[in-house]
Structure 1
Amino acid sequence: MSSGYDRVVQPAAGDGALENHLGGDEARNYRKYEYDMVAPHVGRSLLEIGSGLGHFAEQFLPRLDRLVVSDFDPYCVEQLKKRFAERDDVGVLQFALPTEIPLDDKVDTVVMMNVLEHIEDDAEALRSLARVTLPGGRIVIWVPGYMQLYGDFDRKVGHVRRYTPKTLADAVKRAELDIEVLKPINFLGGIAWWAAVRRGGVGYPDPRLVKIYDRTVVPMTRLIERFIRPPFGQTVFCVARVPG
Structure 2
Amino acid sequence: MQEHTGAFSNATGRALEQGGAGQPRYRRYQRELITPYCGRSVLEVGAGLGEFAAGLTGLDRLVVTDADPDAVALMAQRFAGRPEVEAQQFALGNKFSLAEPVETVIAINVLEHLEDDAAALAGLAELVVPGGTIVLWVPGYQQLYGEFDRRVGHFRRYTPATVSDAVRRAGLQVEVAKPVNLLGGIAWWAAVRRGGSTAPNPKLVAIYDRFVVPVTRAVERRIPVPFGQTVLCVARTPAAR
- TM-score w.r.t. the length of structure 2 is 0.92
For residues 1-28 of structure 1, the C-alpha deviation after alignment (integer angstroms, 9 at most, x for no partner) is xxxxx999978x9343x23235334321
Structure 2 counterpart of 1:73, from 54, 68, 73: 68
- The counterpart of 1:104, out of the listed 95, 99, 105, is 99
The percentage of aligned residue pairs carrying the same residue is 56
Cα separation, partners in 2 of 1:10 and 1:38, compared to 1, 3 Å:
farther
Alpha-carbon shift at residue 82 of structure 1 (Å): 1.7
Judged with a 3 Å threshold, the aligned counterparts in structure 2 of structure 1 residues 96 and 153 are, in CA distance, closer, same or farther, namely: same
Residues of 1 paired with 2:225 and 2:176: CA distance? 14
Provide closer, same or farther for how the CA distance between residues 237 and 193 of structure 1 changes in structure 2, counting only shifts above 3 A: same
* Cα distance, 1:54 vs structure 2: 1.3
* Alpha-carbon contact 1:7-1:51 (below 8 Å) kept: no
Deviation by residue 1:147-190 (Cα, 9 ceiling, x = unmatched): 11011111111111100111100000001111111100001110
Cα shift readout 1:67-87 (whole Å, capped 9, x = no counterpart): 111000111011122222343
Asked if 1:167 corresponds to 2:167, the answer is no
1:89 Cα offset (Å): 2.0
- Is the partner of 2:87 in helix, strand or coil? strand
Aligned to 1:33: 29
Name 2:171's counterpart in structure 1: 176
1:209 counterpart = 2:196: no
1:238 aligns with 2:233: yes
Alpha-carbon distance in 2 for matches of 1:221, 1:72? 32
Of 39, 45, 52, the match for 1:43: 39
CA distance in 1, matches of 2:101, 2:113: 24
The answer to whether the 8 A contact 1:109-1:137 is kept is yes
TM-score normalised according to structure 1 size: 0.91
Q: For structure 1, which segment, 223-232 or 203-212, has the greater mean C-alpha deviation from structure 2 after superposition?
A: 223-232
Superposition pairs of residues 81-160 of structure 1, within 5 angstroms: 81-160=76-155
Distance in 1 of aligned mates of 2:195 and 2:111? 26
How far the C-alpha of 1:109 sits from its partner, in A, is 0.6
* SS of corresponding position for 1:170: helix
Q: Which ranges of structure 1 fall in alignment gaps of 5 or more residues?
A: 1-5
Decide whether the 8 Å contact of 1:10 with 1:118 is kept in 2.
Answer: no
- Which structure 2 residue ranges, 5 or more long, are not aligned? none
Which whole-Å CA distance do the structure 2 matches of 1:176 and 1:21 have between them?
A: 32
- Tell me if structure 1 keeps the 8 A contact 2:140–2:229: yes
Number of aligned residue pairs? 236
Change (3 A) 1:204 1:7: farther
